[in-house]
């Protein structure tokens, strides 16, 4: 077994199976396999790309919302400015990557 096929219908049986000492080696093998996959697939670069894609999707959804509700980006910024928040420009490397990705339309 490469994974534990749990659903709401079989959760009690699966929980008993997973916690059964007779299946400990199999469960440890699943965990080791998952950890190895994570080490190979979840890299800093991969996570950065994924986060940038998610942020891009969020900005598209926000733009759609603003368009559908006749609320311009300028109106949003005016509202934020009226709140008198002490916002400062983010100087982190991620912010730089985000600004570059926006220019490149990634």
Model-wide pTM > 0.75: no
pLDDT band at residue 12 using 50, 70 and 90 as cut-offs: very high
**CA 95 to CA 102: how far, in whole Å?**
10
105: left (phi over 0), alpha (psi -120 to 50) or beta: left
**21-37 pLDDT per residue, tens:** 999 999 999 999 999 88
- Please compute Rg for the chain using Cα positions: 23
**42-73 pLDDT per residue, tens:** 888 888 888 899 999 998 888 888 777 776 76
Give me the residue label for tokens 């699966």: 14
Contacts of 65 (CB under 8 A, 6+ apart): 71
């Amino acid at each position: 077994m490469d994974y534990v096929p749990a659903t709401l219908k079989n959760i009690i049986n699966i929980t008993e199976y997973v916690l059964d000492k007779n299946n400990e080696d199999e469960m440890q093998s699943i965990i080791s396999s998952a950890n190895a996959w994570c080490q190979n697939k979840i890299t800093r670069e991969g996570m950065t790309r994924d986060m940038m894609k998610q942020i891009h999707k969020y900005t598209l959804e926000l733009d759609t919302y603003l368009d559908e509700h006749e609320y311009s980006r300028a109106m949003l910024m005016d509202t934020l400015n009226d709140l008198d928040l002490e916002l400062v420009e983010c100087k982190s490397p991620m912010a730089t990557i985000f600004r570059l990705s926006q220019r490149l339309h990634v």
